[in-house]
Each structure stands twice: as structure tokens, then as C-alpha cells.
Structure 1
């Protein structure tokens, strides 16, 4: 069972924030590389444009399933959107 956010340590919350930023940057970079607008990627992947905006800015996490939907729409492997095992490193794949 997931731990409620209020029960998470400050270190864990910071690690999640860094991971969201890394995933969002990867989505944006791959979207631009593919020459897609946010609207086009949203339509292709099945996410809303508003959600995509929040994901790209690192303000919102994205579900495991949506990572695959975004990767498929971008024509890449889902692993390309995932941060390293230790988001504290601040480096993407």
C-alpha cells in the first residue's frame, strides 16, 4: 500500500520532485526532437494537453502506463523517458 504524501520524508519528496523534473524534461526534449507540438503529442498519446504541460514542467507525475503511451507516440523506448535509478544525481539517461 502506498505511503501517504504526508507520511513521506522531506528527502523522499525531494527525490520525487527531481524525478518529475527529469521525466518532464525528457518528454519535452523527445517531443521537440520528433517535431511535435504539445497538442499533437497529447492527441497521439491520449493524455490531455494540460496534463502534458504539467508533466513537462515537472509539476505533475505521470503514471507508468502513460509513460508507455507517450513513448509509443514519440516512437521511442519507454526507458528513454525514465530518470536514472538515483534521481539525486540530477542526470537523465
Structure 2
């Protein structure tokens, strides 16, 4: 049985987190590819998170924040 889609507020918050990651990446003058390398992830995952097509795992958020040298709270508040 398929699960119900997430509520709209969840999707909106996912978009906000993706926007914050993209903004921090651009401020750091990094491409998605370079951020992925620094975070030990693949570019497609970074893209899906930034575009809000995927809900990032907490461990991946830690890795992204560390790679961007920003506090995790700046990405998810």
C-alpha cells in the first residue's frame, strides 16, 4: 500500500531548505559537483535536495553543512 504524499507544509519547508543550501553554495562559489565532492555525495543528490525533489537525510545535511562551512541551523531554521 503506497504511503500518502507529505503535507504541503512539509514540501514548502523542503523547498526552503533546498534554497538555503543553494544560496550557501553560491556564496561559497561552489558548483553542485564541487559541493558533492566536498560532502562525499553525488551531484544528483545535491541537485535533488536543492530542487526539493528529495528529502535530505540528517547525515547528508551534516555533510553538506560541513562542506559549506556553515552551521546546520543556518540551513534548516
TM-score by length of 1: 0.75
Name 2:22's counterpart in structure 1: 28
* TM alignment of 1:32-47, pairs within 5 A: 32-47=26-41
> Structure 2 stretches of 5 or more lacking a match?
none
Larger radius of gyration: 1
Is 1:69 aligned with 2:67? no
Q: TM-score, normalised by structure 2?
A: 0.90
Please provide the CA RMSD for this pair. 1.5
Question: Which residue, 10, 13, 17 being the options, matches 1:19?
Answer: 13
* Per-residue CA distance 1:12-70 (angstroms, 9 max, x = gap): 52111011100100000000000101000000001210011111111111011111100
CA displacement at 1:5 relative to structure 2: 3.4
